[in-house]
Amino acid sequence: MRIVLDMDTGVDDAVAMVLAMNSPEFEVEAITTVAGNAPVVQCTRNSLLITELLRPGDPPPVAHGACEPLVQPLIIAPEVHGHDGLGGLLDSLPTPHHAADTRPAVELIAAIPHDGPDDVSLVASGPLTNLAIALRTDPTAMAAYRRIVIMGGAFDVPGNTGPVAEFNFYVDPDAASEVLNSGLDITIIPLDVTMSTALTRDALESLVRSGGRTDTQALAKPGRNLAAILYRALDYYMSFQEDESGLNGGFMHDALAVSAALFPSIITTRPASVEVVTSGPARGRSLVRPAVNGRTVNIAVGLDESMFHEILEERVLQPVWG
């Protein structure tokens, strides 16, 4: 399966990227970046760095995307992901050797060749700004994607950006509204399922120790390899979650979206039409509405938690720290 990843590359996006690139069923065709967890220039650098560390000789192309939402001023999440998206590691991270693709993200999304109707999928784990612009500029190219899996929304649970909104939809509600009402084959992975399970700090450190590292704190020092970088980024991310909610771990929102693209049976879904509130106190809220012109999306409502944790262990934890 060929796949394009559209990301605001923060900590859980980085985990999702590792998962995708360590999955033999996937060929990651391209990664496009969008402003969200961090400014887009940082998201691009993070993507270039991680892809190089995973595939030094032949990383997939990384294209720089939208630097701000369609209408709203940009809001980022340094308290969750650090000012640079990877836990504030910028000063100690190596400089990527590869440059970003010369094409803007929207052009690269449209330029991916499709050999057949079920050939390429797209996973969007950040605000949907790039996808909305691509729909405006080349709807035929967007319609050629097998399906689009989106991490976003909160339906029957509280939001994580204010009481009712999920972060991606809050950052660019106008883009979310356009994309979800486009009629494309879309599956939404909302907070309803992503916050039903988490990667615990105990599980992470247990695996690190089982891989022969007796002093897990050594990984918390500046390092230039993927294991050290991800460990430090996850430490920052999990510390925020613990301060915020008491959770001794971190929600792997974006890794679940990639997993659902890889193994659709990991989730159960319901079809619905979705409205996204674009302004006011409920900005970013996602609401189920009666279908308009028969246009629906599939909303994930259930999750095989044990299967998801097996995927995380086999494709992220073991390859990086095992």
pLDDT greater than 90 at residue 24: yes
- Can you give the pTM of this predicted structure? 0.94
Q: Is there a catalytic annotation at residue 253?
A: yes
Distance of alpha carbon 252 from alpha carbon 231, whole angstroms:
14
Among 59-68, 83-92, 193-202, 218-227, the minimum mean pLDDT is found in 218-227
Domain ranges of the chain: 2-321
Phi, psi of 28 (to 5 degrees): -75, 105
183, 291 Cβ separation under 8 angstroms: no
Within 8 A by CB and 6+ apart from 212, the residues are none
Residue 25 has pLDDT above 60, yes or no: yes
Task: Give the pLDDT score at 216.
Answer: 53
What fold is seen in the domain 2-321?
Inosine-uridine Nucleoside N-ribohydrolase; Chain A (3.90.245)
Catalytic site residue from 81, 83, 114, 253 = 253
Displacement of CA 293 from its chain's centroid (Å) = 30
pLDDT over 60 at 215, yes or no:
no
Looking at 18-22, 34-38, 53-57, 137-141, which range is the least confident one? Answer: 53-57
Residue-wise pLDDT tens digits, 102-120: 999 999 999 998 877 668 9
pLDDT in tens, 259-313: 999 999 999 999 999 999 999 999 999 999 887 677 899 999 999 999 999 999 9
Mean pLDDT (the chain) is 92
